[in-house]
């Protein structure tokens, strides 16, 4: 069987890296994306991954720009082969209480975390349906499930992913295309480790399993949902949060 091609947006972040590794171990050819203007960091990361035995092709894209996403996806289809798996992982935070949140903070997060779902999915979805096979996983968040003080923009965008996921899952169900969401809780990434120790201890105290999650634990969920034999799972959300929020 031809090796399936997987795309992971935000590939060189803490979670994206583990997702790329898990998909490669699953036998996929992985193409990762990074934000425009970060070419040097992406090249360094790509070389580090190669030294670890993970060959990941990296491509720049503005996930907020539909035309740029379409350009990239068409280029990949033309030069690498058809896209079988899409993991929408790119995301940002611009935290502030609502009374202090600026329109720019709201728009930046909605554009990157929610509009990117349409921008990346729409150009590949029809082709997946026509071929009769596809896997899409949209990365949401614990805070999209329960909300979070100071994150009206982030929580709204991540909650919106659930509706988007369920809607297009229905469109792809009879075509062999599954669409699911994964909602990580607090994961042991460099970003989380930058939180002040007192705040971090408070976060961990609220997690029933008593620790932060590991990036590989989120990646395991992604690999499970993108497996060839995962065709009966669609339109669902998999929470990976240590029991912090039970829906």
Which one of the listed residues 154, 162, 186, 245 is annotated catalytic?
A: 154
Please check whether residue 106 is in contact with residue 153, taking contact to mean a CB–CB distance below 8 angstroms: yes
Q: Establish whether 154 is a catalytic residue.
A: yes
Strands (E), 53-176: 57-60, 83-88, 134-139
Helix (H, G, I), strand (E, B) or coil at 136: strand
CA distance 10 to 238: 20
CA distance 8 to 62: 13
Please check whether residue 232 is in contact with residue 180, taking contact to mean a CB–CB distance below 8 angstroms: no
CA distance 177 to 182: 17
Residue with tokens 């965008």: 157
DSSP-assigned letter for residue 62: -
> Which positions are catalytic?
154
């Amino acid at each position: 069987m031809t090796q399936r091609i997987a795309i992971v947006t935000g590939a060189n972040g803490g979670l994206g890296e583990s997702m790329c590794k898990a998909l490669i171990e699953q036998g996929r050819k992985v193409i990762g994306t990074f934000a425009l203007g970060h070419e040097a960091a992406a090249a360094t990361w790509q070389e580090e991954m190669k030294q670890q035995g993970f060959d990941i092709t990296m491509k720049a894209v503005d996930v907020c720009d539909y035309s740029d996403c379409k350009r990239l996806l068409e280029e990949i289809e033309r030069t690498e082969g058809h896209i079988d798996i899409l993991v929408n992982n790119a995301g940002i935070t611009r935290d502030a209480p609502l009374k202090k949140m600026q329109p720019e903070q709201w728009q930046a997060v909605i554009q990157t975390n929610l509009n990117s779902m349409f921008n990346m999915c729409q150009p590949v979805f029809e082709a997946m349906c026509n071929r009769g096979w596809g896997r899409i996983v949209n990365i949401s968040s614990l805070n999209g499930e329960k909300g979070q003080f100071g994150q009206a923009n982030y929580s709204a965008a991540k909650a919106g992913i659930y509706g988007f996921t369920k809607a297009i899952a229905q469109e792809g169900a009879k075509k062999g295309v599954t669409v699911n969401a994964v909602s990580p809780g607090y994961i042991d990434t460099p970003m989380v480790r930058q939180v002040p120790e007192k705040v971090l201890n408070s976060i961990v105290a609220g997690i029933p399993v008593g620790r932060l999650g590991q990036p590989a634990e989120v990646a395991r969920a992604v690999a499970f949902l993108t497996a060839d034999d995962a065709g009966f799972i669609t339109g669902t959300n998999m929470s990976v949060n240590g029991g912090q929020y039970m829906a």
